[in-house]
Amino acid sequence: MSRTGEFQIIDRFFTHDAFGEWQSQGVGDDCAIIDTGAGRIAVTTDMMAVGTHFLPTARPEDIGWKALAVNLSDLAAAGASPRAFFLSIGLPERDDAWLEGFSRGLMALAAETGCALLGGDTTRTADVNGTRAPVTISITAMGALPAGKGLMRKGARPGDDIWVSGTVGDAYAALKHRWGHWQLMPDAAEALFARMDRPTPRLALGSALLDLATACSDISDGLRADLGHILERSGVGADLRWEAVPISPALRSLSVKAQQEAALSGGDDYELVFTAPESARLRIEQAGLLTDTRLTRIGKVTEGITGDNLTVRTESGAVVSTAVGGFDHFAG
């Protein structure tokens, strides 16, 4: 898979040979997995700007919740249990009503997941040439892992099942509706807005998969793109059955073409996509029941081939083609 935009920048400018005493088991993964000498931790960081990652009209409570949720989702992808986070925030002005809402949403999820805010930084972002600087939020989250364990994107093997949690495509459909590109019925829109605004990091599932999954990623860039990262890291391919891909009733109200675009190329789901051998099927189904998470088998890992290594087919055998998609800040 060719590397474009944001990944090209990372490859070219921010990838180097390891040095120092702390190394990561999962460079380029959802989290860095680090053996500290006093235990294994997973660390992830995500930066967001209002206007780029959030609509300017987003509610501050939802921004606070989601800013932490996307980080916890990366911890979930590593199978780590959240312990602490750091918050750096840049504000163009002091707006106490906004901060009140933001911190309420943020701390609600923090309390729910036992993830303590242990530090951060607060700065003013200056306007440039009369252009209002956006609110920027950077969160670094850390989680605990049992010694020697941790899910990574590498490790998928030919013959493995491919599983996905929850349903995919909902947040993207909500965004398309808010942009005015797609028309959803009011009930469907409500259901999808909740998925876009308040994603649920699959933390319990991630932990439950530690001894079961061969590879795992969260879905932030879209199923095709994030499963693509697993395939690339693992040196394998995949065949998916379109009809097996879990779609919510709300998304089903749209055309099949829109469903395919949303479910395969849309991002922001914060579900987990993972691989596991057939022998683990029963235990994975049990993990789904125990963690109250819907799990669906959507295809198989195949031997790697060069070029397009991910094929989605309908029951009739037709290839479903959508853009690899995934959001890339510097694509094109």
Q: Which option in ligand ADP, Mg ion, none does residue 261 bind, with CB closer than 5 to 8 A by kind? A: none
H-assigned helices in the chain: 5-13, 60-78, 96-113, 170-179, 186-197, 203-208, 223-234, 249-252, 256-260, 281-290
Question: Which position's Cβ is nearest ligand ADP?
Answer: 14
Q: Minimum distance between the CB of residue 29 and ligand ADP, rounded to whole angstroms?
A: 5
Q: Which two tokens stand for residue 125?
A: 């972002």
Number of residues that bind ligand ADP (CB under 6 A): 8
Site membership for Mg ion, residue 218 (CB under 5 A): yes
Q: Minimum distance between the CB of residue 255 and ligand ADP, rounded to whole angstroms?
A: 29
Question: 140 to 179, contacts with Mg ion by CB under 5 A?
Answer: none
Question: 19 to 38, contacts with ligand ADP by CB under 6 A?
Answer: 28-30
The one-character DSSP state at 42 is E
- Per the CB < 8 A criterion, the answer to whether 79 and 150 are in contact is yes
Complex with ligand ADP: residue 145 or 184, whichever CB lies closer: 145
Number of residues that bind Mg ion (CB under 5 A): 4
Complex with ligand ADP: residue 74 or 160, whichever CB lies closer: 74
Rounded CA separation 124/129 (Å): 16
Radius of gyration of the chain (CA): 20
Complex with ligand ADP: residue 29 or 170, whichever CB lies closer: 29
Q: Minimum distance between the CB of residue 30 and ligand ADP, rounded to whole angstroms?
A: 4
By CB under 6 A, name the one of 25, 167, 220, 253 that touches ligand ADP: 220
Which residue has 């070219």 as its token pair? Answer: 12
Cα–chain-centroid distance for residue 139? 15
Q: Minimum distance between the CB of residue 131 and Mg ion, rounded to whole angstroms?
A: 30
Site membership for ligand ADP, residue 74 (CB under 6 A): yes
Look at residues 158, 137, 101 and name the one whose alpha carbon lies nearest to residue 299: 158
Beta bridge partners of 300: 161, 239
- Per the CB < 8 A criterion, the answer to whether 150 and 41 are in contact is no
Site membership for ligand ADP, residue 46 (CB under 6 A): yes
Complex with ligand ADP: residue 184 or 272, whichever CB lies closer: 272
Rounded CA separation 145/135 (Å): 33
Q: Which two tokens stand for residue 265?
A: 């190329």
What does the binding site for ligand ADP look like in residue numbers (CB under 6 A)?
10, 14, 28-30, 46, 74, 220
